[in-house]
Structure 1
Amino acid sequence: MKDLIIRKALEEDREAIALISARAFNNDWKLLSTDENKIARILAPGVFIDVYDVAIVNQKIVGFISLVTKNERAQYIKEKVFQKEVGFFKGYAMAMMLKKEFEEPLHFNTDQVYVDILGVDPDFNHQGIGSQLLQHTIENNKQKEISLKVTSINENAINCYTKKGFHEFKREKVKYPKQMGFDEFIYMKR
């Protein structure tokens, strides 16, 4: 896509990032809510904006990538926001369930970066935006090993990562595959 601009995320990009997360990963959020705007309101306060780059087409954010090092994470779970949006008990239970996945420190070496989240607005899928975000990351982190995690059912992402020189180095079974909708995480690095 020739009119694509990639830049560091700004504070005013927070809601757009959250909405793209809600839309791009809507299957993952169905247990919480099918309302994308509600999911975006839940996610927005926990976006750690400092680790995001955004992809822009015609002055609209259409995708993002978050790169973390050491103990940073891209998204934090704000349980009070979950409770406000979906109810006290459901909000608390979902927040506690997601905290580990989103907030657990990664413990990387200083020569490593981790793609914590890469998301593209579904209206812009299959236009090379995810690939360009990944290429931007590779070009700006030439001296560092880049790693990521992908679900075993996300064949499009796995193919994209493989084309960009990533290779699998580990698989991890998930505890509740039926509820999660997939059975393994695949870890890849470049």
Structure 2
Amino acid sequence: MLRRSILTCFAVFALGSAAQAAPLNLVLQDSPDIISSFIDVSYDAATDSLSASGFALDINYTDTDQAAIAGGLFQLDAVIDSAGNLLGGALTISGTVAELGYNSGTLLTGTLDQFGAGAGDPLEFIFTVTGGDAAALYGGFGGIILAQTGYSGSFNSDFDNLISGIPGTGTGVADVAAVPIPAAAWLLLSAILSLGAMRRQR
């Protein structure tokens, strides 16, 4: 019941406001956790477009059990304006894990609801789960911590983590894991309070 109520609040809040950049300070659960690496990250300030593309390597499906992902790919696309407001985005993790019966080719998909960042790495996101073989492990939502992105604290200009701008040279890493319900509830409450303060200032 608590999970359902929180999910409903997340959905209402996501539809009604933008998510501004301030560190979320996410503490992710040990499982489920999809571990990705070799991620190319680039941000285009002219279009407000953030793209992160790499390889999904392993999934921790319990706190003590890990399985390799075959053909795993990580893709995150977000629209983040110059003020650090998340205007939309999506997560797609593809691949198969035969030992878990995950054979459809899609492990996890989601829509990005909240975004946080400070003066540099990492970039943090909260997402609503929309599908994939591993969706049941995550429940309704999860968190993403994306590091080694090339972000230095501003969305006023382009940035990336590529060597000489060459695709395939990115060294970004990401954890896509479940977020404890109390932590998620606190993040939601903080976001709502921040939104209320912003509206009062206007």
TM-score (normalised: structure 2): 0.27
TM-score (normalised: structure 1): 0.28
Higher relative contact order (CA 8 A, sep 6+): 2
Instruction: Answer 1 or 2: which has greater strand percent.
Output: 2
